[in-house]
Structure 1
Amino acid sequence: MYTIAIAIFIPFIAAALIPLIYKKIPSVNIGWFVLFIPLTLFIMLARYIPAVAAGETYIQTIKWIPSAGIDFTTYLDGLSMIFGLLITGVGTLVILYSIHYLSERESLGHFYVYLLMFMGSMLGVIFSDNLMVLYVFWELTSISSFLLIAFWYHRKQSRYGAQKSLLITVSGGVAMLAGFLMLYVMTGSFSIREILGLIGRYTDEPLFLAAMILVLLGAFTKSAQFPFHIWLPDAMEAPTPVSAYLHSATMVKAGIYLVARFTPIFGGEATWFYVVSCVGIFTLFWGSFNAVRQTDLKALLAYSTISQLGLIMSLFGLGSAALNSGYSEDSVIYTQATFAALFHLVNHSTFKGALFMVVGIIDHNVGTRDIRRLGGLMALMPVTFTIALIGSFSMAGLPPFNGFLSKEMFFESVLNVRNLELFQIGTWTTLFPVIAWVASILTFVYSMIIVFQTFFGEHQPDRLDRKAHEAPVGLLIAPSILAVLVVAIFFFPNLIGNYLIRPAMSAVYPMFPNADELTPHIKAWHGPNMALYMTIGVVVIGALLYIFLRFWRSVYTIVPMRWSLDALYNGTLSRMESVSTSFTNFYMTGFLRDYLVYIFLFFLSGVGGILLLTGGYSFDLTDDGPVTISEFIIVIVMMVAAGAILFAKSRLTAILLNGVLGYSIAIFFIVFRAPDLALTQIIVETVTTALFLLCFYFLPEWKKEKSTTQSKVVNGIVAILVGTAVTVIALAVQGDKMFESVSLYFENAYELAGGKNIVNTILGDFRAFDTMLEVVVLFIAGIGVYTLIKLKAGKEENDFED
């Protein structure tokens, strides 16, 4: 019944079991066990393809926190199906590749735990209907990707890249959370499906625009859109299987998924159209422009990923224009941009995944990814060359590869936007095809760099760390499968179009009645048209730019690196660290009395200030009970003991005076007829006094710190003010009861919890969860003490043996 929910949790369960399996069978590569997890999930999801293609959706709900409107609701439709198949399908190939790529000397147990955590988190993101559940999984992707990027933590750059990705993506996630809460405030629901039906009433609300921008911040940071793209190149310090999985097929597509899922909610608005399409198209250009300058193959692929993500994002922005005017023939034209986005989403995962694996093979076999040291590898690595050729030419948009089909649809979409009469867009529409065309030329250039500068030219064995040779079969299987898919999709694109993209289009445009009209028939030849002429121009001008690359590459030196976004990020982080260090050094003086002064001053300014502003310091003593002589005596004893502690000359005297305070409180409990509390207080006071005496017996002689007159005056004033504030608060609380006393509820403890002792029922029933956590804390502390004792005992034994 809960198939999709089970699919989400299977990777987490497997991740929990891996350490046990890895410990029991250390001689077997744990990757072979992990491989069955995504493969099983892929087959499980593939069984739903015919039903989802026929228009079925599957909703499953598990009650979680119903009082807060948070349920674990999973939702399988065409859109989540595409992403689910990519996550599990590419995940299967990546794990197969990693089995042969990673050495058994690596910490494989940790690696596969992190990878499965990430896989489960991504499945949770795409299948969650509840915004809060989606957010939980969203941040889990950031945490697990942080662990994967920092897998080689002994490398400084790996730690830097992991920190950078975490800071940027988590910051965007927090912004997205604020947007989700705004949607809840407006609609009263956390369900995406319910919000979709209600949001039309709230488009004029001030929170609507704010929620839209905050949600987009989360999407842009995760999908490496400008100017948040700077984390992705540094994340390439991760092992190649991680790069192939996280940064081409899954993690960076989470933001794409978010934009696609929220297009029906925000898509009819001009702000959504402008922000998504403009940020996307500029990211496309900026990524391709910077990719050409890279000399590291992995860095080149990182910027190419940024560029391709910008292409997909811009298409979703252009496609959102169809929601502004409702269902019509004109609006259906604009939906083709969304179709192209979904199609290129699939294509990009195939050719980019293959290219990352190829780069991993090159690095694995020759010991470098530096293009300046490579060349002439075609004859030595013919299979790797073939895969690289297929992936690069597909990325460049050449036939007969799937990238050509989606790139042609991209050109047609940016050309169609020129006829758009919505949002008062005017002549700005001309910029879209121009920027798209220039970016595609640059894409062609860096695609040729991958092929020709790596595999053609002169072989330089003396500049390589290892002798070049073809990769073993195990490393070639996964990229070969992806390369075959690149070609197969070109010849049979409508299988993808009809069974995967068409139901996804229905999810993006649920208000449009006929999904068939939204799904064009994909074909390679459309006759001579503007899109074809643009492609010819890309090939001709791109080839010329590649041939004369050395003459114009100096353009990248015009703007100094200190003006880059990376320099801005590093400078900002450095300044924040400097300011925080200075501030910390200011208040972390090393003296306990200073810390107490800070705490008490904050208490006075916060609580005392509120009392003064609200007039809550008034109190009435007329209804108070009489104070007996015995109570006066106890209070006087406590005052004398407290004052005497300040002038005690030894620790022993101070401890005994402190015990007088504790036992006096116990006497108060007896006077007020609370024997159980009195007994508890006596036991606690006796134990703590004995422990104090035992501990202080072994400490050196107590030498009081000499204080200046100024510090004594400050401490005295603060002490008097705090004592006065606490007294006023106690009197004000007793004299002005704004609400009915909570004790009235607990007085009915026998009927509610079956216990005659109110204190016991509060601890065991009403506060059961809190009490359980306290026990857990004590248990953990006990384990820590036991561990330290064992470690010390073990060290002493080793020292004795030595």
Structure 2
Amino acid sequence: MSLLHLAIVAPLIFAILVPFFYKSFRRIHTGWFVLPLPILLFIYFFSFISTTKSKEVVMKTLDWIPTLGINFTAKVDGLGLLFALLITGIGALVVLYSIYYLSKGKEKLHNFYVYLLLFMGAMLGVVLSDNLIVMYAFWELTSFSSFLLIGYWYHREKSRYGAQKSMLITVFGGLSMLGGIILLYLMTGSFSISEIITQADVIVTSPLFIPALICILLGAFTKSAQFPFHIWLPDAMEAPTPVSAYLHSATMVKAGIYLVARLTPVFAVDGLWLWLVASFGIFTLFWGSFSAVKQTDLKSILAFSTVSQLGLIMSLLGVGAASLHYVGLDDNLYVVATTAAIFHLINHATFKGSLFMVVGIVDHETGTRDIRKLGGLLHFMPITFTLAMIGAFSMAGLPPFNGFLSKEMFFTGMLRVLEMDFFSFDSFAILFPILAWVASVFTFIYSMILVFKTFTGKYQPEKLEKKPHEAPLGMLISPIILASLVIIIFFFPNSLLSDNLISPALSSILPSLVTDEEGFMVHIYQWHGFNPELFMTLGVIAVGVLLYLTLPKWRRVYDLFPENLTLNRFYDGAVNRAQTGSFKFTKSFMNGSIRSYLVYIFTFFIVILATALFYKNAFKVDTTNLASIGVYEVLLALLIMIGAVSILFAKTRLSQIILLGSVGYTVSLFYVLFRAPDLALTQLVIESVSVALFLVCFYHLPKLRREETRIRFKLTNAIISVGVGAIVTLIALSAHSNKFFSSISQYYIENTYEKAAGKNMVNVILVDFRGFDTLFEITVLAIASLGIYGMIKLRLARREED
């Protein structure tokens, strides 16, 4: 395993060690043990900047399942490195913040940091995996770990609801994405992203192209909370604030953005990709900003603002790819939209991360996030107010903050849509700059609400649970660092980001892009002159201030939307109907009788296999190459048949158990006859244990019911038993008669001793040749044992409570 692979899985390994740290050093906050890891990882990934800056790619492969083309190939290019730095950098700040936010005595810190590390490792795996199957495995691990993080306070009903909601929606998208990955494999014969990109011209001509495109976008849209899948993100705000600052500013919600950016070279060759990405993105931007204004909870405002900002980045990726697709690569000015998407992705992580932390501080020091109860906190929390102002003004797109720069580039990208033959009818293109401007107005409004409704106005101490005061220095360090970056990036965007991060990432998204004469692809300016973008910004400020000051007069417009027609109602109704329907359906056949369940299973078994056998015309009997049948084998077979049939007519369970045991013991005689004493011994031991267990269990059961003695009951059992026996016999005969390959037995005979140094072939097959199969069987048993142990402990605990 290379150092790069180790860096990716390091958080997963460290997560195993956290409970031991927690148990051994109870007096020290667990976060102090976790903090060095993301810092070291950030330093390690930072060392790759010089490599990606020169447009080089680092790729390390660890064989996993090479026969299926599934290997753990870690790839560091400009795009992957950008996300890796965000994941580890913001991760380090979040861990530091959580040390002061989460109380050591009141919270189960070992659980929190295990979940956080699982998520960190999963995100690194997503952005640094070149193999789509490996990336999908990490993708689903992000859903699982985020479910645990969102539901961290599982004693709260809203936390459980939010965790379940995010899990259902994102896992649905993940499964859709898996379908798209399989379709890509069918088209290209490879799971490697790098190889798939080289076959983009082949993919676009395949009839599977459109289904693969839709499946991939479903995965991206659900993860990055695009309309109409955005409804999970506001409910995810029930998570602790450090979780929100990490997942919903820089990491989880950016996974879908990453997926779209990474696969743009594959799908952007077709206009449908551009149309879907840009259209869903711009509408999500508008709807998120419009919905944020009516919220009264600070984290809810940030939740919908996150939805809005994700839509902004998504729309830029769509429009950016469209500009290159329709215009060409001869003028780097046309990549402004994609450049703005990357730039705003970085900016959003800085100002949104600091804002989440600020809201956490307000909640931590006042006991509420309700803006109707807040106000006048400026005098008590001046540093927090300054941080809130920097973050909110940057989000609103005001100078001198980094959000202003990327917002201006966003306007430029939207205006360029008017110059392109984008949707085959020009009238639709005008909606992009219009929606962009209107959404920016609402962004300005909720940014002002976030700051001034919280820190200015009337102080209402009677509505607060705590007397407000400034947060401790440890809790302020992380938001101060992020807020400082907001300002620093504004003044030095090119020296800090353009050549080091943005340009390499741009080359990863648009690999055919040509650099200019100086070798730079990105130039960011604070002043572009008196252009349409500037006037759009001035209009946003003017209209935004007017609407903010008159907010009570027009806010009632939200009351016009019917509450019964919301997406949340639709989701809740769908989940409730699914639960009710599944309960009724299950209750119709789940009657508590094991015999009934076996009837269902075996009937299905007979019908499906018999249909497949005869429909495919696979039934064949070839008696050549068969060993001769001796008299002893005939006698043993008759004994087994007599014992099996006799079970049906036995009147007591004891006699049934004895007859069943006789069948098993007779089978062991076959092994003796065929000179397999080890198998015969195993069969005898298992049969003896099974009979003993049956006797112990059946001793406590009531006598046979009347229906169990009826002819109809026994006849049903007889028919199903004969049917199963017959179909298995037919399959065995057909399998023997339809051999397409030579038997593998000769391989085992020749290699058992040579390759495994064992003389007992059966044992060698189980332990060496089929070692993973045996290992997984043991793992299943271990998991089942742990589950049984947990249920017993829970049962005993309830008895003690009673």
TM-score by length of 2: 0.94
Structural mapping, 1:605-620, within 5 Å: 605-619=607-621
Instruction: Report the counterpart of residue 72 of structure 1 in structure 2.
Output: 72
**Secondary structure in 2 matching 1:60:** strand
* Letter of the 1:493 counterpart: P
Give the corresponding residue for 2:467: 467
Does the aligned pair in 1 maintain the 2:100–2:475 contact within 8 Å?
A: yes
- What residue number does 1:123 align with? 124
Look up the SS of the partner of 1:601 in the other structure. helix
Any gaps of 5 or more consecutive residues in structure 1? Answer: none
Counterpart contact for 1:284–1:439, Cα < 8 Å: yes
**Which position in structure 2 is the counterpart of 1:595?**
597
Q: Kindly tell me: are residues 554 and 711 of structure 1, through their superposed partners in 2, closer, same or farther at Cα, counting changes over 3 Å?
A: farther
Q: More deviation in 318-327 or 699-708? A: 699-708
Q: 1:75 to 1:559 in 2, by over 3 A?
A: same
Take 2:760 and 2:123, find their aligned partners in 1: how far apart are those partners?
Answer: 49
User: Structure 1 residues 779, 270: CA separation in 2 closer, same or farther (over 3 Å shift)?
Assistant: closer
Greater Cα shift, 75-84 or 570-579: 75-84
Partner of 1:176: 177
Q: Deviations over 1:656-711 (max 9, x none)?
A: 222221222223333444444333333333343344445555x2553335246655
Q: Does 1:271 align with 2:272?
A: yes
Task: Give CA-to-partner distance per residue, 1:9-39, whole Å, 9 cap, x none.
Answer: 2212221111111111100111112111111
| Structure 1 residues 253-309: Cα deviation after superposition (integer angstroms, max 9, x where no partner) | 111111111112222321111111111000000000100110111001000000001
Distance 1:526 1:614, change over 3 A: closer
Tell whether the 8 Å contact from 1:261 to 1:508 is kept in structure 2 after alignment.
Answer: yes
DSSP-derived class of the 1:373 partner:
coil
Q: Percent identity?
A: 54
Higher deviation after alignment, 320-329 or 66-75: 320-329
Partner of 1:647: 649
Q: Which amino acid aligns with 2:304?
A: Y
Displacement after TM superposition at 1:201 (Å): 2.6
Question: 1:771–1:407: structure 2 CA closer, same or farther, 3 Å change rule?
Answer: closer
> Is the aligned partner of 1:504 residue 2:505?
yes
Shift of 1:724: 3.5
- Number of the residue aligned with 1:761: 764
Contact kept? 2:21, 2:33, Cα under 8 Å: no
Q: Residue 770 of structure 1: CA displacement?
A: 2.5
Residue matched to 1:32? 32
Distance 2:793 2:584 in 1: 40
Q: How many residue pairs align between the two structures?
A: 797
After TM superposition, list the pairs within 5 Å mapping 1:547-562 onto structure 2: 547-562=549-564
Alpha-carbon offset, residue 202 of structure 1: 2.7
The one-letter amino acid paired with 1:765 is D
User: Hey, what's the Cα distance between the residues in 1 that align with 2:50 and 2:632?
Assistant: 85
Does the 8 A contact of 2:250 with 2:353 survive in 1? yes
The equivalent of 2:303 in structure 1 is 302
Change (3 A) 1:471 1:762: closer
Q: 1:640 to 1:245 in 2, by over 3 A?
A: same
CA distance in structure 2 between the partners assigned to 1:793 and 1:315 by the alignment:
57
Task: Give 1:109 shift.
Answer: 1.0
CA distance in 2, matches of 1:213, 1:235: 26
Q: 1:174 deviation in Å?
A: 1.3
Structure 2 vs 1, CA of residues 780 and 550 (structure 1 numbering), >3 Å: closer, same or farther?
closer
Shift of 1:653: 2.1
- Once the 2 structures are TM-superposed, how far is the Cα of residue 593 of structure 1 from its aligned partner? 1.8
| TM-aligned CA distance change 1:681 to 1:45, over 3 Å | closer
Instruction: Name the SS of the counterpart of 1:73 in structure 2.
Output: strand
Tell me: CA distance 1:790–1:341, structure 2 relative to 1, closer, same or farther (3 Å).
Answer: closer
Task: Give the structure 2 partner of residue 575 of structure 1.
Answer: 577
| Counterpart in the other structure of 1:741 | 743
Query: 2 CA distance for matches of 1:358 and 1:795?
Result: 42
Cα 1:775–1:121 change in 2 (3 A) is closer
AA aligned opposite 2:539:
G
* 1:464 Cα deviation from its structure 2 partner: 1.1
Q: 1:573 to 1:326 in 2, by over 3 A?
A: same
Query: 3-state DSSP class of the match of 1:75?
Result: strand
**Matching residue of 1:45:** 45
Residues 51, 228 of structure 1: alpha-carbon distance in 2 compared, 3 angstrom cutoff = same
In structure 2, relative to structure 1, the CA distance for the partners of 1:138 and 1:622 (3 Å cut) is closer
Select between 263-272 and 358-367 the one with higher mean Cα deviation. Answer: 263-272
Given the two structures, how large is their TM-score scaled by the length of structure 1?
0.94
Q: Is the contact made by 1:121 and 1:140 (CA closer than 8 Å) also made in structure 2?
A: yes
2:402 corresponds to 1:399? no
CA distance in 2, matches of 1:586, 1:597: 15
Q: 1:605 to 1:265 in 2, by over 3 A?
A: same
Distance, in Å, in 2 between the alignment partners of 1:791 and 1:359 is 38
| Residues 22-421 of structure 1 aligned to structure 2 (within 5 Å) | 22-104=22-104, 105-325=106-326, 327-330=328-331, 332-421=332-421
Hey, what's the Cα distance between the residues in 2 that align with 1:482 and 1:790? 46
Alignment deviations for residues 552-603 of structure 1 (CA, whole Å, 9 cap, x no partner):
1111111212111111111001101011101111111111221111011101
Q: CA RMSD in A?
A: 2.7
Output the CA distance in 2 between the equivalents of 1:245 and 1:341.
20
Structure 1 stretch 430-439 or stretch 57-66: which is displaced more? 57-66
**Distance in structure 2 (CA, Å) of the matches to 1:779 and 1:174:** 28
After superposition, what is the alpha-carbon deviation per residue over 1:457-511, rounded to whole angstroms, capped at 9, x for unaligned? 1111111111122212222111111111111111112122222111211222211
Gap change, CA 1:792 and 1:555, over 3 Å in 2: closer
**Aligned partners of 1:354, 1:628: CA distance in 2, in Å?**
83
**Counterpart residue number, 2:19:** 19
Q: Do the aligned partners of 1:339 and 1:519 also contact (CA within 8 Å) in 2?
A: no
Shift of 1:727: 3.9
Cα distance in 1 between the residues matched to 2:774 and 2:423: 59
Work out the CA distance in 1 between the residues paired with 2:650 and 2:782: 36
Q: From the superposition, tell whether residues 422 and 574 of structure 1 become closer, same or farther in structure 2 (CA, over 3 Å).
A: closer
Contact 1:444 1:538 in 2 (8 A): yes
Query: 1:64 is matched by which residue type in structure 2?
Result: W
CA shift for structure 1 position 790: 10
Secondary structure at the aligned position of 2:152 is classed as coil
The code of the aligned residue for 2:346 comes to: V
- Structure 1 window deviating more from structure 2 (126-135 vs 336-345): it is 126-135
Q: CA deviation at 1:4?
A: 2.6
Q: CA offsets, 1:299-333, max 9 Å, x none?
A: 01000000001001101111102432575445x33
Conservation of the 8 A alpha-carbon contact between 1:264 and 1:323: no
Distance in 2 (CA, whole Å) between partners of 1:319 and 1:81 is 21
Q: Please tell me whether the aligned partners of residues 505 and 518 of structure 1 are also in contact (alpha carbons under 8 angstroms).
A: no
Aligned equivalents of 2:17, 2:673: Cα separation in 1: 57
Tell me if structure 2 keeps the 8 A contact 1:178–1:214: yes
Distance 1:640 1:717, change over 3 A: closer
Write the distance in 2 (CA, Å) between the matches of 1:44 and 1:366: 39
Q: 1:620 to 1:116 in 2, by over 3 A?
A: closer
Please give the per-residue CA displacement for 1:150-186, whole angstroms capped at 9, x wherever unaligned: 1100001101111111111111111112212222222
Q: How many Å separate the matches in 2 of 1:521 and 1:636? A: 88
Contact between 2:231 and 2:567, CA under 8 Å: does it hold in 1?
A: yes
Q: Which moved more, 1:348-357 or 1:650-659?
A: 650-659
Please report how far the alpha carbon of residue 5 of structure 1 lies from its aligned counterpart in structure 2 after TM superposition.
2.0
1:417-496 equivalences in 2 (<5 Å): 417-422=417-422, 424-495=424-495, 496=497
CA contact (8 A) 1:336 1:518 kept: no
Which residue number in structure 2 is paired with residue 513 of structure 1?
Answer: 514
In 2, Cα distance between equivalents of 1:488 and 1:262: 32
Structure 1 residue 207 displacement after superposition: 1.6
Structure 2 gap ranges (5+): none
**Matched position secondary structure for 2:71:** strand
Once residues 53 and 313 of structure 1 are traced to their aligned partners in structure 2, the CA distance between those partners, rounded to angstroms, is 25
For the Cα contact (< 8 Å) 2:112–2:149, is it kept in 1?
yes
